[in-house]
Structure 1
Amino acid sequence: MTIEHTFQVRPVAVGDPEVQPLLDGLAFEYETRYGANNELTRFPDSDFAPPDGAFLILVENGETIAGGAFRRYDEVTAELKRIWTHPGHRRRGLGELVVRELENEAVRRGYRRVYLTTGPRQPEAVALYIRAGYRPLFDVTAYPGAMGPHPFEKELSVPE
């Protein structure tokens, strides 16, 4: 898929006003799919700040259209969180771009592996991570509603 590069990739702090559309969009998605939940408050904002974490957004014409973050999972592993694309901008390959940019930043921070989970009611996220080369750590043939979070992992290509 070809992506038009009419946007900017920006590193931001969680408290940056440009992040709010992403967090509001995620809150709506999670509540619509799972009901009341604490997914966006499970980790302190400091987890997504340098040196161990990062938060990136894609901005087009002054609008936050996609983004995501990572935090330290262990000494060599970054955990991807908060991956989101505005509903009006989906099917443009932006999710894959966000994941790739986060992976590149994780490598720059010294991580060699990525771990993530997505929920059983997010089949488009499962498809995204499989397309991006992530290995499912769950039975992909099982009925999604019969299990909890869907974990994935990927080894990162670290330059020599």
Structure 2
Amino acid sequence: MTSVAEPGGPTWLRATLSDPLVRPMLRELGHEYSTRYGKDAHSELARYPAEEFDAPHGVLLLLLEDCEPVAGGAFRRYDTTTAELKRIWTHSAHRRRGLARRVVAELERIAAVRGYRRIFLTTGPRQPEARGLYLTTGYTPLFDTKAAPETIGPLPFEKHLTVPAEGKV
């Protein structure tokens, strides 16, 4: 577990899936998935082994305010040059504040520093907020945006990263 404070603001925490502070994220994501896709949808949270989100190939971040998680997300290695975003989350009491954008930007920054040159992700067809987030943060849809999302299934996106000037993560 590593934390990095932002001057005068929230703290970034690098955590593992077993960290107790990750539980609110997983609980809310499970509820969201089940509400939108049915009871078995929460199994998506256990689809990947926890170590896939650990360094050096992955990361799980939480954004803390007053030591409480308000947003978070992760990436895992998709292939040698591509990271896959997973579990982008904002606590239900903290939505509409731009926190998900901050999480995505920080995950992109870390991925670029670690040598990834592309981000790939999928979101569900019943998650219009996520679709909007990725479209407004520069992701290219790899599907027909005019088609009804339910007819497509998972909605894939990609974004090519710029090489960072310098930095370590």
Specify if TM > 0.5: yes
RMSD of aligned alpha carbons: 1.3
Which residue, out of 61, 79, 85, partners 1:80?
85
Structure 2: gaps spanning 5 or more residues: 1-7
Count of residue pairs the alignment pairs up? 157
Q: Tell me how far apart the structure 2 counterparts of residues 30 and 92 of structure 1 sit (CA, whole Å).
A: 22
Percent identical among aligned pairs is 56
Match of 2:45 in 1: 40
Output the TM-score relative to the length of structure 2: 0.90
CA drift of 1:155 comes to 0.2
Verify the 8 A CA contact 2:113 2:164 in the aligned structure 1. no
Question: Do residues 20 (structure 1) and 23 (structure 2) align?
Answer: yes
Runs of 4+ in 1 over 3 A off after TM superposition: none
Bigger mean CA offset, 7-16 vs 96-105: 7-16
Q: Tell me how far apart the structure 1 counterparts of residues 29 and 68 of structure 2 sit (CA, whole Å).
A: 16
| Matched ranges for 1:57-136 at <5 A | 57-136=62-141
CA drift of 1:145 comes to 1.4
Bigger mean CA offset, 31-40 vs 110-119: 31-40
* Residue identity in the other structure for 2:67: G
Q: Secondary structure at the match of 2:26?
A: helix
Output the TM-score relative to the length of structure 1: 0.95
Higher relative contact order (CA 8 A, sep 6+): 1
Structure 1: gaps spanning 5 or more residues: none
Q: Secondary structure at the match of 2:62?
A: strand
